[in-house]
Structure 1
Amino acid sequence: MSILYYGLSNSSIDNCTDVDEKVKHHYLPVCYGTIFIIGVVGNITALLVYLVKVRPWKSSTIIMVNLVVTDLLFMICLPFLTYYYSQYDSWMLGIIMCRFTRFIFHFNLYGSILFLTCLAIFRYVAVVHPMHANSIKQKRWGTLACILCWAVAVAEISPIFNQIEMKLQDNKTYCFDLASNNPEFMWPYSWVLTVVGYLVPLVVVCLCYWRIMKELKKGPHKESKKRVRARRLIVLILTCFIVCFLPFHVLRALRIYTRLTPETNCMLDRWAHAAYIISRPIAAVNVILNLLLYTLSGDCFKQAFVEMFRCDRLVSKTKDIVKVAVISKPTTKITHDQSS
């Protein structure tokens, strides 16, 4: 096992902790299983709301629907990964499914980044250049942006199909993650993914939202509902980029670097691997944060959700119950006082 994951340089060191193996076999199945349950229920619900209730569709709506579809595709691979890690790295579905699950994991990651970047650009045009707002809301721009995002994401991740490997050892078949494959290829390739797939979109998103925030501070009604919702949307998307995506890219680079250097201390190698393992479900949490994004998108999703599941009746009934409780409480107290 150590030869497969760490190379010959560290395989002879017996006093090295197996913290990464413990993290992998106990942490990953729980996290992936939880994300799967929330992601399936939430994204199927979101897709139904968009398809059945949200009208009319705008460019931002099309971007959101494509983001939902990307997250649902990611849900396909999570049961396989959950089972694989719960069985102590025992893959039984062949090389095609191994590569497919790794492909879908990274496609969701970089596809989400691209869709969130498109959303930031469209928001920037609508807020900073209001004369073009009606034009940018037209469906053809959303469709074109999504086609471009899918094409770029597939182009970025397609080398995975030729590089992801399976190895047989001790009657077990290992399906390696991206950073555990050939480090000579993965080192430059991971940097291409980091720069093109993450850092460039991050810069674009930060610039767009910086200009949007400046624009929102101008004029009266700074605390209007639309402006408050816009600020919350900015915070949420930047949280995805910084909290979910940044640790993953930094720790993936560290993981590959430790595999490239034979003189790396065994403990550093193991802890770098453990940290990279922890960062993978954190990156996948963007699937859950996207569910919050839909309610702030400004395309009537929240209202459509309430109407579709008739939450308005539930809310009104709850208010009635609360009113009855509030009114009856002092009455009860007076009766008690009188009886005493």
Structure 2
Amino acid sequence: MRSLKMENSTHHATENSSINCTIDHHIHQTLSLTIYILVLVVGLPANCLSLYFGYLQIKAKNELGIYLCNLTIADLFYIFSLPFWLQYFLQHDNWTYDEKLCKICGILLYENIYISVGFLCCICIDRYLAVVHPFRFYQFRTIKAAVVVSIIIWSKEILMSWRLFTHADVSKDAESHIICFEHYPIKDWERNFNYYRFFAGFLFPFFLLLFSYCGILRVVRKSHGTQKKRKIQIKCLVSSTVVIFLVCFGPYHILLVIRSLFETNCNFAEKIFNYYHFALLLTSLNCVADPLLYCFSSESTYQNFVKIRDSCLTCLRSLRTKTKVSYQMKTPEVLRKNSSVPAAEEPEISKKLHTVHEMKDSSTTSIDRL
């Protein structure tokens, strides 16, 4: 009986390498669930707002809006796949949907990283050219150029996704659970692909981002016309971008290379599993950080946000006023009081109300100019 079991496991091992590995997926039922729910709850409305603000940038003929919209769309695609992963984790890493859907969700999870990195690089290069070379490379800072670059990035990632789609498959673990988009130990075709992801998808963009923002800081530091407060704001934005890039994408890509170099057996796969998946969780936080950094930190976007907030508050106040007036008009005491008010005082009351509205408009204008 034991030998038959060993023969069966050997047969399945040749069919799929992950059958021999008994991995403890407890991190998926605890930390992964918490992080994915947080990203879903916070990331969805934040990215919807940033998509609207990106549209406003495009409407104002700002090429930065093209990159922001594409970045947000990539994040939203990933967020839409999270409910499937949540159910997968709740069922103790057992994929119950179609195999093609597993591949699609896996591609959205992994390729979102590189689409995001690509458009983050576009944003930092666009800012670098705008600050360091404002007149020299103007032809690259147009709506048309941004659209062409966006098509190139999406086309490149779709081609890479197709390779993943044809190679990736589901597998079974020792408990007959269907594992989606993962193999333990790592397969041979994944190793070279992971090296490419590390160098072309992380290391090169990181140095590009670092070079661009160092050039921006150098110019801002030498500028005498820029206010000190604005200089501090730019420095915080640049340093926050670099730190978030490193925190979200650095640990994952380092562990990706470590797995590709040393993961040849189940013993190593079991040891690195929790560290690797914690690093993978950090990449998902990028979906929350992107709108905060690249949309809500913008001065014009902040002004638009203030306008929307003020409009909502004005609507709420007007609704409350109408409700209060309609309630008061129904009471017999108010009817008796209204009958005793002289008609000559009505123009004076309307004049006072007009003055109050003028004060509100002037305060809104002063906020918009900040």
Q: Distance in 1 between matches of 2:172 and 2:271?
A: 24
Cα 1:154–1:228, aligned 2, differ >3 Å: closer, same or farther? farther
Amino acid at match of 2:241: I
Equivalent in 77, 84, 99 of residue 80 of structure 1: 84
Of residues 269-278 and 106-115 in structure 1, the stretch that sits farther from structure 2 once superposed is 269-278
Cα 1:219–1:100, aligned 2, differ >3 Å: closer, same or farther? same
Unaligned runs of 5+ in 1: 12-17, 318-340
Q: How does 1:215-226 map to 2 (within 5 A)?
A: 215-221=219-225, 223-226=227-230
Q: How many residues align?
A: 301
Unaligned runs of 5+ in 2: 1-8, 318-370
Q: Distance in 1 between matches of 2:57 and 2:224?
A: 33
Q: How big is the shift at 1:136? A: 4.3
Q: Distance in 1 between matches of 2:297 and 2:184?
A: 38
Q: Which residue of 1 aligns with 2:114?
A: 110
Structure 1 residue 148 and structure 2 residue 149: aligned? no
Q: Distance in 1 between matches of 2:251 and 2:69?
A: 27
Q: How does 1:234-245 map to 2 (within 5 A)?
A: 234-245=238-249
Equivalent in 94, 97, 110 of residue 93 of structure 1: 97
Structure 1 residue 23 and structure 2 residue 27: aligned? yes
SS at match of 1:295: coil
Query: Could you give the per-residue CA deviations for residues 154-192 of structure 1, whole angstroms, max 9, x where no partner exists?
Result: 233332101221124545322133x64752111111001
Amino acid at match of 2:54: Y
Structure 1 residue 310 and structure 2 residue 315: aligned? no
- Bigger Rg over Cα: 2
User: Could you say what the CA RMSD is over the residues aligned between the two structures, in angstroms?
Assistant: 2.8
Q: How big is the shift at 1:195? A: 0.8
Q: How big is the shift at 1:221? A: 4.3
Q: How does 1:159-178 map to 2 (within 5 A)?
A: 159-168=163-172, 170-177=175-182
Amino acid at match of 2:208: V
- Larger relative CO (CA 8 A, sep 6+): 1 or 2? 1
Q: How big is the shift at 1:93? A: 1.1
Q: How does 1:267-278 map to 2 (within 5 A)?
A: 268-278=268-278
Cα 1:228–1:148, aligned 2, differ >3 Å: closer, same or farther? farther
% identical aligned pairs: 20
Q: How big is the shift at 1:52? A: 5.8
* 1:59 and 1:136 in contact (8 A); partners too: no
Q: Which residue of 1 aligns with 2:289?
A: 289
Q: How big is the shift at 1:133? A: 6.7
* 2:221 and 2:231 in contact (8 A); partners too: no
Cα 1:238–1:202, aligned 2, differ >3 Å: closer, same or farther? same
Q: Distance in 2 between matches of 1:213 and 1:99?
A: 42
TM-score computed with the length of structure 2 as normaliser:
0.73
Q: Distance in 1 between matches of 2:207 and 2:165?
A: 29
* 2:198 and 2:253 in contact (8 A); partners too: yes
TM-score computed with the length of structure 1 as normaliser:
0.79
SS at match of 1:243: helix
Query: Could you give the per-residue CA deviations for residues 10-55 of structure 1, whole angstroms, max 9, x where no partner exists?
Result: 76xxxxxx6x422122221211111111111111122234336874
Query: Could you give the per-residue CA deviations for residues 86-135 of structure 1, whole angstroms, max 9, x where no partner exists?
Result: 21011111111000011001221000100010111111111111224754
